[in-house]
């Protein structure tokens, strides 16, 4: 059972998604345009500040609240949902968790109101799952870091309101010979920091994703996030939480497929009756609801463990793996229920189909989730 506060938040975001996002997002998606106006309104609603303290401009909510908002947004559209997810769990959270007081005071107030966005750059053109394979280097030269290298697929890194990107970089060698990886904040517009034009993507077409290059890019030494050499560990802990957020988002997509399929199956007639009356169709929708419901139980469970201070890694990986499968299966089934119209962009399920696949890849592929679960089982 959700608390009254959580239920009220869920209703507010549900209405916002239906009334503000749904009517306009298809057009942004078709044009591969970033929906600044919708993002601004999400900021006004307080969504970017949900799991943060009001001391820095947040809403004093929790990670569960963030998950509920992501689920309700993704039920209608995943581009705005991933913009929020990446802004909060990859953009602002590392600074909130690991930043100095000065870094927090400087960056968080604008990030938590959605006036500004931040990205997190871990993935590189040559390495993603193998995050320790980072090749980007940062060398301390006097009181500045000099960064050289590139990052691939970085969300929220090139919008007009992007304030910074935090990047992981090799800053030396540990005594055991392994790479010392640190996280460094690079403000947008820093000379030597170039943002490539947006990718041409299969889905999430109204979200912002770029390749970034750093060519003798200099930032002050105090832009180091937390201790030198802690970048890799920091990122892994951020990713573990992020899996719960992606699971909530995936659940939303899976549920959106159910919503659209019920509506369509009751309206569409074939052989003189609504297609909902064919058991083959209603069973397809029943299976979709089964997957959406169990996906929700999985992310609620992981979030509750996290908020109770328990070790939640295995459960976050289970939630991410299960819900992204559910989203993918439901998107395929919902398209089937819609017949030829399911293949048309004017119907939301066309977008759901294109947006579902990345959920099995981003923030840790399904194979990586299985590795996390297996390791936690002692295998
Ligand atoms: C739209 C979009 C937005 C993104 N946003 C961000 C962002 O904001 N910040 C960021 O840092 N990254 C971001 N990413 C990158 C994303 O997290 C990576 O694409 C993902 O982690 C997979 O890495 P990869 O693409 O390098 O694939 P690879 O790691 O090359 O994997 C290729 C295949 O090999 C498999 N594989 C790899 N290693 C193993 C193994 N040990 N065992 C079994 N199978 C294995 C993988 O599961 C996969 O099937 C984004 C990606 C996309 C597409």
* pLDDT tens digits for range 104-142: 999 999 999 999 999 999 999 999 999 889 999 999 999
Predicted pLDDT at 230: 82
Question: Which whole number is the average pLDDT over 307-316?
Answer: 96
**Residue 234: what pLDDT?**
82
Task: State residue 252's pLDDT score.
Answer: 98
CA distance 245 to 88: 10
Question: What is the mean predicted confidence (pLDDT) over 346-365?
Answer: 96
Whether 132 is in the pocket of ligand 1, judged by its Cβ within 6 Å, is no
Note the pLDDT of residue 207. Answer: 98
Output the CA 123–ligand 1 centroid distance in Å: 7
44-53, 175-184, 228-237: least confidently modelled range: 228-237
> Residue 333: what pLDDT?
98
Catalytic residue among 124, 211, 260, 363: 363
- Is residue 237's pLDDT more than 90? no
Mutate to test the pocket of ligand 1, among 91, 365, 368 (most ligand atoms within 8 A of CB): 365
Ligand 1 and 237: CB distance under 6 A: no
Quickly count: other Cβ atoms within 10 Å of residue 44's Cβ.
11
Residue 86 near ligand 1, beta carbon < 6 Å: yes
CA atoms of 88 and 48, how far apart (whole Å):
6
Nearest residue to 164 (alpha-carbon basis) of 118, 210, 115: 118
Residue 192: per-residue pLDDT: 98
319 CA distance to ligand 1 centroid (A)?
18
Q: Is 90 in the pocket of ligand 1 (CB under 6 A)?
A: yes
Whether residue 363 lies in the annotated active site:
yes
**pLDDT > 70: percent of the chain:** 100
Asked if 241 contacts 364 with a C-beta cutoff of 8 angstroms, the reply is: no
Please say if the pLDDT value at position 2 is more than 80.
yes
Q: Is the CB of 129 within 6 Å of ligand 1?
A: yes
Q: Which helix (H) or strand (E) holds 366?
A: helix 366-376
For residue 78, pLDDT beyond 90: yes
Report field, pTM of the whole predicted structure over 0.85: yes
The pLDDT of residue 328: 98
Residue appearing with tokens 């209405």: 15
User: pLDDT value at position 129?
Assistant: 93
Q: Give the residue among 225, 185, 222 at the shortest CA–CA distance from 99.
A: 225
231 pLDDT above the threshold of 80 = no
* pLDDT value of position 74: 98
Does the C-beta of 162 come closer than 6 Å to ligand 1?
Answer: no
Minimum CA distance residue for ligand 1 atom 27: 128
* Cα 175 to ligand 1 centre (Å): 29
């Amino acid at each position: 059972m959700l608390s009254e506060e959580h239920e009220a938040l869920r209703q507010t975001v549900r209405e916002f998604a239906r009334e503000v996002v749904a009517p306009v997002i298809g057009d942004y998606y078709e044009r591969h345009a970033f929906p600044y106006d919708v993002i601004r309104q999400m900021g006004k609603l307080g969504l970017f500040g949900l799991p943060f303290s009001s001391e820095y401009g947040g809403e004093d909510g929790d990670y569960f609240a963030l998950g509920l908002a992501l689920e309700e947004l993704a039920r209608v559209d995943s581009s705005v949902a991933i913009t929020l997810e990446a802004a909060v769990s990859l953009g602002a959270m590392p600074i909130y968790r690991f930043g100095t007081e000065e870094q927090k005071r400087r960056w968080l107030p604008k990030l938590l109101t959605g006036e500004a966005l931040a990205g997190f750059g871990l993935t590189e053109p040559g390495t993603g799952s193998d995050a320790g394979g980072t090749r980007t280097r940062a060398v301390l030269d006097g009181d500045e870091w000099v960064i050289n290298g590139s990052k691939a697929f970085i969300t929220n890194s090139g919008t007009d309101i992007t304030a910074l990107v935090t990047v992981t970089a090799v800053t030396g060698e540990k005594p055991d010979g392994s790479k010392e990886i640190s996280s460094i904040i690079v403000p947008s517009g820093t000379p030597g920091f170039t943002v490539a034009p947006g990718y041409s993507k299969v889905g999430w077409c109204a979200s912002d994703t770029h390749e970034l290059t750093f060519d003798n890019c200099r930032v002050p030494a105090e832009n180091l996030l937390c201790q030198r050499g802690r970048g890799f560990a920091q990122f892994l802990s951020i990713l573990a939480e992020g899996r719960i957020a992606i699971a909530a988002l995936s659940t939303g997509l899976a549920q959106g497929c159910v919503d659209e399929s019920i509506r369509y199956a009751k309206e569409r007639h074939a052989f003189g009756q609504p297609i909902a009356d064919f058991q083959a169709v209603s069973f397809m929708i029943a299976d979709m609801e089964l997957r959406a419901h169990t996906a929700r139980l999985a992310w609620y469970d992981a979030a509750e463990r996290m908020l109770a201070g328990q070790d939640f890694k295995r459960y976050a990986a289970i939630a991410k793996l299960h819900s992204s499968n559910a989203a993918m299966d439901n998107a395929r089934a919902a398209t089937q229920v819609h017949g030829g119209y399911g293949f048309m962009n004017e119907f939301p399920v066309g977008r759901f189909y294109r947006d579902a696949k990345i959920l099995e890849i981003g923030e840790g592929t399904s194979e990586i989730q299985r590795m996390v679960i297996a390791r936690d089982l002692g295998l």
